[in-house]
Amino acid sequence: MSADIDEKNILAEFDLVIAGGGMAGSTLAWALSQANPSLTIAVIEQQAKVEPGQVNQASFDSRSIALAAASVDLLQQWHLWPTLVANACAIKHVKVSDRGHFGKVSLQQKDYAKDALGYVLEVEHLGNLLRAKLANCPQITWFAPTTISSLTPEQHWQLVQLDNGQQLRCKLLVIAEGGASASRKLAGINMTQQHYGQSAVITNLALESKHDFIAFERFTQHGPIALLPLTKQRYSLVYTTTDTHAKQLMQLSEPEFVEHMQQAFGYRAGVFSACGQRAMYPLSLGMADAIVQHRVALLGNSLHNLHPIAGQGFNLAMRDIAKLVQLLSQTDDPGSYKLLRAYEMARQEDIKQVATATDALVRLFSNQSRICALARNLGLLALLLCKPLKHPLAKHAMGYRS
């Protein structure tokens, strides 16, 4: 042990410390509690600890996530889905089109022997359930509100200094704090950011008629518009556009915004009657320079930040979690080189493929040249006409990689 670490000041030893108690970190903690109840786990969260039934913390805001079929399978495996399904809306049909051009493609669940291609869930429902579940896990200790102020690697441990003066010692530190992770920097891992000069405007839209479980992705001159079906006759809107245009949209009154969205999207999804509170997020592609470090593993947005054009961000994080849970169930040393190397090898190709494909979509559908417009529309037309080409697309959209 390092000379500058006082053994008496070590508050507690844990098999695993999770930096970040938001969606990814809490899901990992719960999944591990199901797969390996003998693990001792600490969760470090910068927001004040919120008990079940209290107001949601910032990590679980009113946004919605598109859950691929494979992610739903994992939530089933971790005994979360039976409770979540009542607040989730199935995606049974996906329609993709390029406004002002002939290209379009359509995917339907009935063609793939699935009840749904995926589901849309408001994040707060997952947050509320995870809080309730984790509150009754004796193997999990919460440290909140606090953050990590320093890390000291040792041969068999990571020594974790908290900003409140407490010290922890763990065999593995998992960083799941999000894209702006401070702990990732303390671990010596940088994130390469590529800004798109775009922002996403996110809100919920009320409909005058039923949406029939249809999701839309429409590419416009400003950027892609995604409409994802929600419960209670609503759509979750993700409107990607330039930073300047996004700011203008945020300043519109509610009736003006609803009218603008109707004009931008047309009537193929129905008539929009109202919208909820709007939020704006700048978009970039962020990739950590390493997946693992000595007794440190990254997952979720701390490892990869994607453009929302294909709705793959949280689904990619779910596969990070699933692989780490699987590997941790097969070892006596959670932070061993063998385990970390296996996690790195298992995740790097999937992450690379999804990030590359997402970035290519952004560039292809943000380019206004006639040649690019022709190429992408011919591609969409080919998918529409050729089912063997559509099958791999649908398989990847549902989150299946083998």
The predicted pLDDT at position 358 comes to 76
The tokens for 285 are 């592609």
**Residue 41 burial (CB count, 10 A):** 25
Q: How far apart, in whole angstroms, are the C-alpha atoms of residue 170 and residue 42? A: 9
Q: Over 60: is that where the pLDDT of 384 sits?
A: no
Q: Over 70: is that where the pLDDT of 195 sits?
A: yes
Q: Over 60: is that where the pLDDT of 172 sits?
A: yes
Backbone angles phi, psi at 160, to 5 degrees: -115, 115
Nearest Cα to 376, choosing from 355, 394, 362, 396?
362
Q: Over 80: is that where the pLDDT of 144 sits?
A: yes
The predicted pLDDT at position 122 comes to 93
Q: Over 70: is that where the pLDDT of 51 sits?
A: no
- As to burial, measured by CB atoms within 10 angstroms (0-12 exposed, 13-18 middle, 19+ buried), residue 232 is exposed
- Residues whose CB is less than 8 angstroms from the CB of residue 188 and which lie 6 or more positions away in sequence, other chains included: 293
Per-residue pLDDT of 93-142, as tens digits, reads 988 876 544 446 677 888 777 788 899 999 999 999 999 999 999 999 99
Quick check: helix, strand or coil at residue 38? coil
Give me the chain's average pLDDT, please: 85
Q: Over 90: is that where the pLDDT of 35 sits?
A: yes
Per-residue pLDDT of 248-301, as tens digits, reads 999 999 999 999 999 988 888 999 999 999 999 998 889 999 999 999 999 999
Per-residue pLDDT of 205-214, as tens digits, reads 999 999 999 9
Backbone angles phi, psi at 48, to 5 degrees: -60, 140
Q: How far apart, in whole angstroms, are the C-alpha atoms of residue 199 and residue 27? A: 27
**Cβ proximity of 47 and 144 under 8 Å:** yes
Q: Over 60: is that where the pLDDT of 346 sits?
A: yes
If you average pLDDT over residues 195-211, what whole number do you get?
92
Residue-range domains of the chain with CATH: 7-61+126-192+287-362 (3.50.50.60), 81-123+196-283 (3.30.9.10)
The tokens for 352 are 């690379």
The predicted pLDDT at position 383 comes to 39
- Rg of the chain taking only CA atoms, in angstroms: 22
Q: How far apart, in whole angstroms, are the C-alpha atoms of residue 172 and residue 167? A: 15
Q: Over 60: is that where the pLDDT of 8 sits?
A: no
